[in-house]
Amino acid sequence: KQEVTQIPAALSVPEGENLVLNCSFTDSAIYNLQWFRQDPGKGLTSLLLIQSSQREQTSGRLNASLDKSSGRSTLYIAASQPGDSATYLCAVVMEYGNKLVFGAGTILRVKS
Amino acid sequence: EAQVTQNPRYLITVTGKKLTVTCSQNMNHEYMSWYRQDPGLGLRQIYYSMNVEVTDKGDVPEGYKVSRKEKRNFPLILESPSPNQTSLYFCASSPPSAVWTGELFFGEGSRLTVL
């Protein structure tokens, strides 16, 4: 059974700092990995999707990497801003499945 | 505007009182799914539907029912709610090709409290 773990569970940083969120998964037979952002009272917003054959994806100040063989992904946020404060979720789609398997998330707070 | 709409957004109820959380999407998506989110556990899939009249269990289906009579609607039914069903619920939809890419459209969530 696939298990997705995110570390740290919570993170508080001053504005402007670069930061890394970590995601690990136990079964490397994934089709892709996706990072989401969740704001209170809102649904999930997809940030980056990395196919299993890719190593990384970039969008603006966000960069996500994937090491499928070691079961790890990182989300790098450059020059963090207070507006980045949210919960960040990592999820994988299994090769055989039709669902996302989510991690518990990292609660990020960027202080001004 | 493309969207997934859930109702109610907030509900406090008592043990045993049947309730339905509605989910509607306006994108003509075949695939729809329900998740629940609990602290420290992330989102877990309850039920999913690949198309009208086709539904299947996810990881945590106990205590829930669903139906898919129309493509746009996928209601979640709690026949006899219990306190352990207190949670934040999300509905999601996607076209069939996007199932394998994980490109789901999520509703804004329904926070349910069962006393």
DSSP tag of B108? -
- Among A42-51, A88-97, B56-65, B104-113, which stretch is predicted with the lowest mean pLDDT? A88-97
Mean pLDDT score of chain A, rounded to an integer? 93
Contact list, B99 vs chain A (CB under 8 Å)? 98
Predicted pLDDT of residue B102: 67
Contact list, A32 vs chain B (CB under 8 Å)? 101-102
- Tell whether B20 is within 8 A of chain A (Cβ): no
Question: Using CA atoms, how far apart are residues B77 and B17, in angstroms rounded to an integer?
Answer: 11
Measure in Å the smallest separation between the Cα of B98 and chain A Cα atoms.
Answer: 10
Of B44, B90, B103, the CB nearest to A43: B90
Q: A8 pLDDT exceeds 70?
A: yes
Give pLDDT tens digits for A84-108. Answer: 999 999 999 887 766 789 999 999 9
Measured in whole angstroms, the distance separating CA B71 from the mean position of its chain's CA atoms is 14
